[in-house]
A = this chain, B = another copy of it.
């Protein structure tokens, strides 16, 4: 049905599909757009017949899976998704514990804190707590990002051999959004260094003026199964960064044991 790697785009085939498949496409579309969208647009962009989409949206609005917004005819996710999502967070032990750590980090340090994992061959933000700064609102929860673009990515693959890593990560993923290319050898060296230091720092990767600090959460076998990290302005002074790194390592350590 779908290649398991990335999110399925859609199926072409006959043109007729089950309602549930159309709904899945609809929700994925909203998640990728990340903005309330008009029904007709969703229909066009997901390849769903207009009449079908109207029908489905009505059903979902009744169930509060979706919400009509603004009276401008757009729809977006509704409260039911939040309820189901909270149930999920509560049901996964490591995530439940990570929430406490991330919230505490963001509150005490005042910078954006995140909890991240791998999904397939992509990096993924699972938890995001904005911290005290007003800008950088974009929480990219649930959005997949190439591994080499991130600090955490350098930790999350550190159990693999170098050639294994290069086979695992799609070649295109070494190209940054602005077109620059990450040299593979440097990437491997970063990983090696990180393993020794117990943390990673990257600056100006996805965003020129942003530094990421990340520490590994490891399972009993020592494999990095997640990371906690801070996202801070690149000009944050070195002493402050060192303190944050220590704080991160302590949190990561607690989560590693808690496992």
- Which A residues are closer than 8 A to B by beta carbons? 1-2, 18-21, 23-24, 27-28, 30-31, 34, 36, 56, 59-60, 62-63, 65, 67, 76-91, 100, 103-104, 106-108, 119, 126, 128-130, 139, 141-142
A126 touching B82 in the complex, CB below 8 Å, given contacts A18-B19, A77-B91: yes
- Closest CB-CB distance, A152 to chain B, in whole Å? 17
Q: Is the CB of A129 within 8 A of B142?
A: no
Q: Is the CB of B59 within 8 A of A20?
A: yes
Q: Is the CB of B91 within 8 A of A85?
A: no
Q: Is the CB of B88 within 8 A of A78?
A: yes
Of B59, B86, B103, which contacts A142 at CB under 8 A?
B86
Of B76, B84, B91, which contacts A91 at CB under 8 A?
B76
A24 touching B79 in the complex, CB below 8 Å, given contacts A19-B18, A85-B84, A87-B34: no
Q: Is the CB of A89 within 8 A of B84?
A: no
Q: Is the CB of A77 within 8 A of B88?
A: yes
A79 touching B142 in the complex, CB below 8 Å, given contacts A84-B27, A91-B36: yes
Q: Is the CB of A88 within 8 A of B76?
A: yes
Of B30, B63, B86, which contacts A85 at CB under 8 A?
B86
A77 touching B82 in the complex, CB below 8 Å, given contacts A36-B91, A103-B129: no
Q: Is the CB of B77 within 8 A of A31?
A: no
A31 touching B62 in the complex, CB below 8 Å, given contacts A91-B76, A107-B107: no
Q: Is the CB of A83 within 8 A of B20?
A: no
A107 contacts which chain B residues (CB < 8 A)? 103-104, 107-108
Of B23, B87, B104, which contacts A30 at CB under 8 A?
B87
A88 contacts which chain B residues (CB < 8 A)? 67, 76-79, 81-82
